[in-house]
Amino acid sequence: MEGLPEGVDSKFRYVLLVSKRAEQLIQGGHPKMKSKHAKATRIAMEEIEKNQVKWQLTPPVEETTALEGGE
């Protein structure tokens, strides 16, 4: 693979996407395309590279801590 797939803004995000998709495949998800690869990670890489997996970046959710509860 040369560079990052279109729409992926960092290597870190690419690794996260591949790992989450590979986990879906391992848990029984169906591949989105035929692949010459047998390993879930390689299939996930190919799917993301060919823009077969839809994903969306959502803003972080603010968490409240027990200290902010107010006493």
Give the per-residue pLDDT at 68.
62
pTM of this prediction exceeds 0.75:
no
**Average model confidence (pLDDT) across the chain:** 84
pLDDT band at 71 (very low <50, low <70, confident <90, very high): low
DSSP code string of 36-69: S--SHHHHHHHHHHTT-S-----PPPP---GGGG
The pLDDT tens digits for 21-53 are: 999 999 998 888 888 888 899 999 999 998 888
Query: In this structure, is the dihedral angle defined by the CA atoms of residues 36, 39, 42 and 44, taken in order, positive or negative?
Result: positive
Give the per-residue pLDDT at 45.
92
